[in-house]
Amino acid sequence: MSLKGEKAVVCGAGGFIGGHLVKSLLENGVDVIRAVDVKPLDEWYQVTDGVENLALDLKDQESCHVAAKSATLVYQLAADMGGMGFIENNKALCMLSVLTNTHMLIAAKDAGAKRFFYASSACVYNGEKQTNPDVVALKESDAYPALPEDGYGWEKLFSERMCRHFEEDFGLVARVARFHNVYGPHGTWNGGREKAPAAICRKVIEAKRAGKHEIEIWGTGHQTRSFMYIDDCVLGTQMIMDSHIDEPINLGSSELVTINQLVDIVEEIAGVRLERKYNLTAPKGVNGRNSDNTMILDRLGWEPTTRLREGMEKTYRWIEGEIERGASGK
């Protein structure tokens, strides 16, 4: 990897994806000089030794200059976000992440960074293309004409445009990946910000432990999604950062399942069958979404390959261990 030896800062390093990314970069010879997150260090999901770990609010411009100092690579993953239960009910908080992205772009430019990676989201895609569970996979051009997820999706789409214009106007090479539903160990599994794979694992584990063989599912269960395992996410992130891909690109699995099928997988892992109670008033997001991986296969000759059953087994066992040791999961 040609990024070997570069000096990187990871923003959002105390979060799920950021914590994994720091470790993967170091394993691949990138010098992570700094890891930054708004949370106090004792609340980080993973803390890596030998890295300057800082608790900073990156909505503040001066904090962004501290974070970017001496860095040649900036990975901007910091955002106020969570699963559908969070982003549908906290649109203003999600929009405020634009401050973090704006200030980190300015700080990266002022620090003379060579490259800037921005973690965007599949929530940028036009909602009218996601009304049917029998989806046509979303290709990159489907973000326009714009009708993204209200709040969170608009912020992501706007920040993608900022990255584009900072490259055009200031020469800061920007790489943008649209993450599709990342899951895996060392992520949020409780407290309201967790996403569907972790939430379903937790619910199945709790039902099994309590002997109460039922589970609440948000929506009809017919909603369709693809889910990308964390190892594929961090590998793809580094490949995209190291690439010549100037436009936003999908980074997601193309293995489509319904939420009911996701529950089937977790029940099979757990060795239980649960009665399903459907909460039709709960946040459920779009009816269908999948990643069209034509571009990433063409540009990188690669796409996420971890099968959902394999990744969910690892995720389930990790959450099960956390619950057994009495962790809160937030």
Active-site residues, by number, are 152
Cis omega (within 30 of 0) for bond into 248: no
Amino acid at 30: V
Distance in angstroms (rounded) separating the CA atoms of residues 241 and 238 = 5
- b or e along 30-62 (b: 16 or more beta carbons within 10 Å of the residue's beta carbon)? bbbbbbbbbeeeeebbbbbeebebbebebbeee
140-147's contacts with Cβ under 8 Å and 24+ in sequence apart are: 140/178, 140/247, 140/248, 140/249, 140/250, 140/292, 140/295, 143/248
Alpha carbon distances (Å) from 238 to 17, 69, 118, 283, 296:
12, 21, 12, 32, 13
Distance in angstroms (rounded) separating the CA atoms of residues 106 and 112 = 10
Distance in angstroms (rounded) separating the CA atoms of residues 237 and 73 = 12
Distance in angstroms (rounded) separating the CA atoms of residues 188 and 166 = 32
Q: What are phi and psi of 3, to 5 degrees?
A: -80, -5
Q: Among positive and negative, which fits the CA dihedral 246, 247, 248, 254? A: negative
- Please enumerate in sequence order all residues whose Cβ is within 8 A of that of 21, keeping only pairs 6 or more positions apart, or say none: 10, 13, 75, 77, 234, 237
Q: Assess contact for 183 and 230: CB atoms under 8 A.
A: yes
List residues bridging with 143 in a β-sheet: none
Q: Which two tokens stand for residue 16?
A: 């799920």
Distance in angstroms (rounded) separating the CA atoms of residues 130 and 145 = 14
